[in-house]
A = this chain, B = another copy of it.
């Protein structure tokens, strides 16, 4: 079972670039502790000193911060193979909260093990650097989304991103993927009230675009969703068949690559 951590990490880092077979072996060999986290349980809180990298094996995590007035802003969800903490290795203090959205299984890899991995195989540092940069890119997109788009577009945008991310991790089956969020959580993600999330979800449903039920996201019309969302996936830096920088304009917009097998 411990090998699962290495496999998951390999999947993650493979999204960042080509991994040579020696690097792959080294990554597979990494050791950590596997642990089950119950729903709503907090893994890391502000002020904690980070000592390990987390990697999601099963379930769903989320990261958030709370303002002094009590408003919660969620700034990321972690699905299997995501590795929160990989970006913040050198930080002396965590400044947000990492918690489990549903009962989850995670791997905890001590920083020392990661450092050793990097020392042995410096190419891996580049891959890790890239996943961190990708994270930054996603953060910027979230800022743009929550600042400039209105509720329906914003929500559509979030769904597009989540679906594609799930796809690249091989977590999509039959046009749907896990997304075990309540409407309140979704509200704290998009900067909306739960009430307005409810009405917006109904709108998207009536438009025949998506449905969110039973903790799962069902995509009925990705192209329509992407159009509403003004979604341009290039910020995800996907490797798998996305035309690399054929700028997606309203004219050549094309999500046919979605039908292909994920990497």
Contacts and interface: CB of A to CB of B under 8 A. Distances in A.
A140 B127 CA distance: 22
Tallying the copies of this chain within the complex gives 2
A93 B137 CA distance: 11
B73 A148 contact: yes
A90 interface: yes
A65 interface: yes
Contact of A90 (B46, B93, B126): B126
Q: Chain A, interface size: which category?
A: 35 or more
Contacts of A51: none
Contacts of A89: 129, 133
B237 A140 contact: no
Nearest to A245: B47
Contact of A148 (B95, B125, B191): B191
A75 interface: yes
A246 to B, nearest CB: 11
Which of A91, A126, A147, A149 has the most C-beta atoms of chain B within 10 angstroms of its own C-beta?
Answer: A147
A143 B139 contact: yes
Contacts of A260: none
Contacts of A125: 125
Interface stretch (A166-174, A195-203, A205-213, A228-236): A228-236
Interface in A204-252: 230, 232, 234-235, 237, 245, 247-250
Interface in A144-195: 144, 146-149, 190-191
Given A88-B133, A90-B126, A73 B143 contact: yes
A130 B71 contact: no
A136 B137 contact: no
A205 B135 CA distance: 37
Contacts of A7: none
Contacts of A235: 95
A67 interface: yes
Interface of A: 46-47, 65, 67-69, 71, 73, 75, 87-93, 95-96, 125-127, 129-130, 132-133, 135-137, 139-144, 146-149, 190-191, 230, 232, 234-235, 237, 245, 247-250
